[in-house]
Chains A and B, each alone.
Chain A
């Protein structure tokens, strides 16, 4: 159970407070409701590049990191297709420094040319390090445009290509800031050894004077229902053949979300899972096999990916995955198997409450979903899922005509 208090400032900024007196630390987490899905298709990778620029100094504070380190704090951030999330952890008695720094960069950035130039390079190196210079690193750059034809999920957060990052201009940066980095578009969570009254006072002091800005109204093109199976083959300098299968599933707010989460657990959580036992251990077709969901806000993906044992043909491997999926469509899972994945989820939820930062991030994310209280309802939602639900969603999801399959083959077998 993660307790919290909640209030909204005059400029629309939502503030949540989680009091945890067991730690001497505090966390200030701010979620901006903007991700790669909000980008212009010709300027992809921008939300993430922008995240880097948020550390390049703000209008009144030339350096973001130094003053924070000076008070014993640390920070980081991440960008996804849906959100951009920034967080600070620091000794609770110095929490005002976090309010000062975080509010100034919401007020306005310094928009330094030097910072833009450097971060273009840094992000280009990140693109190379994580996506281009790694075996299988570019899978998501291939799989997304195969699975999505219209929706902005067709590109990865890093962007479609290096040139989009290299061509980013200061005008782009300023426009993006004005459009998305407003109090109305953000959720602030303060957690740790803090009191709500003090947080309110600090929030009113540092954040409330920031102009509300214009409300960004999201109007994304949604994906059409997929009606044909899609296939693509790439060959690359990798040692092993691999297969990636993506199926459309509903967005995060759909009532079946929890059933999908458990379905991916049945297939692939831990060494008692179906894919691991059947395909890796018994049939010895894969040296590595996983299933997971993308958990995105708009219609997401159910992914199955595996690396093939040398000598196994890709057709055999694919057929074996389908056999497992067809089994889920034909037979209900046993009570025992369903209880097992539910028990596991129960544990995961309890253990996740041991991290202050995780609690703060989760509160912000669930508030974005509509109500932070949803976080505390999760366990109940998982318990509601029935074996019939699993069978039903398997039938709704695992159709050939809804699949996007990528063969990622080694050149040496070419």
Chain B
């Protein structure tokens, strides 16, 4: 007779295999890291550029260049570029994040030779036509207006600005910044940053010798050097600030609470990831259990720990019913204090450990995920021993260590608290 009350046997994840890249270089020394998998006949090629030459007077330079990169070269119009990329069924994406601007090409291998020259043309010869800039400015200002009506986005902006001020990590982009965009600033940023001496290439998929030659032929020559000074920021803890933005008709309030911490290069980082998981890093976390599953104040609440080149930070974020906002804040702080005052129980700790190991295993779904894991360490100057240590730490951490980390990092006097909505 089947006993449904008895859980089946299970095993903790024991080994996690990472596919490590092979390293090559193009003729002009651009490093190419390849994570190989032969399963599908496709490839992803990422051109990753450091964000550089930060100028607080022109906070949109890097963002606008990234967004407008495919808007025309001396040979091709914006429409030509889009037509050709789409014709080959390829995907050309640009992405700006705090530390890097990335240009990504996804393509089936049979079209690689056709699409690489288009990408090269874009990376080496973008012209940023004024007519396209005007459309960009107009449409971005409209998007901004919509975003400024979203409480969670407002909270995120306020929070970043409180922690990071007028740096690339914190600057509060406003409509006037778009009005001030100048074509010559875009061109000068483009020439400085999108250059072989500021470029790292990460390839994932079925990428063989012939493909490497195609890549080298396009990007290993005829590409001018830039004048890039990699961004460098210094931050120190800001004393507790509470920011409240009243939104008269709000049905819900967005809450964002957090503080500066450490990034991936710090020895505390893996431990903090575990502490974060207990607090709000998974569906069964304390914040979810208390504020969603017990009280029903919200659709979702979570916490995170983020690692940037020049900073790390912790945050808790949620949107809660306007009428229960104060109650939710009380519960959030209660959960933070609990972690400082009491040891995590054995059962919960084992669960979190098993969950994190399973989650790490599951995050290596395909060759692209393996490349993402490589990028996470590479740009911090770390090697694969980082993951070995991480896994070791997850398996071995004690409740006492977690409490010690909570005491060290969860000082309420250091937390910035943002509420947008009603309190």
Contacts and interface: CB of A to CB of B under 8 A. Distances in A.
B301 to A, nearest CB: 10
Contacts of B151: 133
B86 A61 contact: no
A162 to B, nearest CB: 10
B358 A72 contact: yes
Q: Which of A123, A344, A356 has the most CB of B within 10 A?
A: A344
B115 to A, nearest CB: 11
B82 interface: yes
B82 A74 contact: no
B2 interface: yes
Nearest to B79: A277
A70 B365 contact: no
A340 B83 contact: yes
B291 to A, nearest CB: 10
Contacts of B319: 125, 129, 133
Nearest to A346: B89
Interface stretch (A89-97, A182-190, A293-301, A316-324): A89-97
Given A69-B284, A122-B296, A272 B86 contact: yes
Contact of B42 (A100, A205, A309, A351): A351
B interface, size bucket:
35 or more
A73 B283 CA distance: 11
Contacts of A287: 138-139, 142-143
Interface of A: 22-25, 59-61, 65-67, 69-75, 89-91, 93-94, 96-97, 99-100, 103-104, 107, 117-126, 128-130, 132-136, 205-206, 209, 237-240, 269-272, 277, 280-281, 284, 287-288, 307, 309-310, 336, 339-341, 343-348, 350-351, 353-356
B365 A107 contact: no
A121 B297 contact: yes
Closest 7 CB pairs of A and B: A72-B358, A121-B296, A343-B89, A347-B89, A272-B82, A271-B82, A239-B145
B395 to A, nearest CB: 12
B283 A240 contact: no
Interface in B86-123: 86-91, 106-108
Interface stretch (B7-15, B381-389, B407-415): B7-15
9 contacts: A60-B4, A74-B362, A118-B293, A272-B79, A272-B85, A288-B142, A340-B83, A347-B91, A354-B367
B355 interface: yes
B89 A355 contact: no
B346 interface: no
Contacts of A69: 282-284, 351-352, 354-355
Given A60-B4, A347-B107, A90 B358 contact: yes
Given A90-B358, A100-B7, A350-B41, 18 more contacts: A22-B39, A23-B365, A24-B17, A71-B358, A100-B4, A118-B292, A126-B299, A135-B146, A206-B2, A238-B146, A239-B142, A281-B135, A288-B142, A310-B142, A347-B42, A347-B90, A347-B108, A351-B106
B87 A122 contact: no
Interface stretch (B27-35, B227-235, B247-255): B247-255
A94 to B, nearest CB: 4
Contacts of A309: 138-139, 142
A239 B149 contact: yes
Interface string B165-201: 0000000000000000000000000000000000000
A22 B369 CA distance: 14
B86 A270 contact: yes
Nearest to A121: B296
B78 interface: yes
Contacts of B305: none
Contacts of B91: 347
Contacts, number: 215
B350 interface: yes
Contacts of B212: none
Contacts of A288: 139, 142-143
A374 B297 CA distance: 43
B299 A91 contact: no
Given A24-B361, A72-B12, A125-B252, A281 B79 contact: yes
Given A25-B362, A125-B296, A288-B139, A70 B149 contact: no
B79 A344 contact: no
B359 interface: yes
Contacts of A97: 7-8, 10
Contacts of B298: 122, 125, 129
B321 interface: yes
Contacts of A66: 284, 351
B106 to A, nearest CB: 7
B40 A135 contact: no
Q: Which of B4, B88, B139, B294 has the most CB of A within 10 A?
A: B4
A378 to B, nearest CB: 15
A242 to B, nearest CB: 10
A307 B142 contact: yes
Interface string B147-173: 011110000000000000000000000
B138 A284 contact: yes
B105 to A, nearest CB: 12
Contacts of B55: none
